[in-house]
Amino acid sequence: MNRGILHTLKTKKELIPLAGIISFAAIGAFSFCVHSLFRKSDVIIHKIGSPEPWETIDPAKPQKLVTINQKWQPIEELEKVKKLTK
């Protein structure tokens, strides 16, 4: 009764493109998750290392996928408050 996926694909050849598209989508979703886990600064694996990990982000480096004419300048009042709270 249960012959397997390969046997089904051999007997019903019209399912091969569907299996290919679903496999491609699953691999793409998995690779994006792995990419986000290791490359994105807003994804945190463990909370023990730094209580405020967003403080280590470089504000000059754009975090968005597309950044057009964005210049970052520090706000003096915010920097003073940040120094006082530490």
The reported pLDDT for the residue numbered 1 is 44
User: In this structure, are residues 63 and 41 in contact, taking their beta carbons and an 8 Å threshold?
Assistant: yes
Average pLDDT, the chain: 81
- pTM over cut 0.95: no
**Where does the pLDDT of residue 65 fall: very low under 50, low under 70, confident under 90, or very high at 90 and above?**
low
The CA-atom distances, in angstroms, between 13 and each of 5, 17, 26, 58, 61 are 12, 8, 21, 52, 49
Q: What are phi and psi of 3, to 5 degrees?
A: -95, -20
CA distance 62 to 68: 10
In the numeric block, the tokens 């990419």 are attached to 35
Q: Is the pLDDT of residue 45 over 80?
A: no
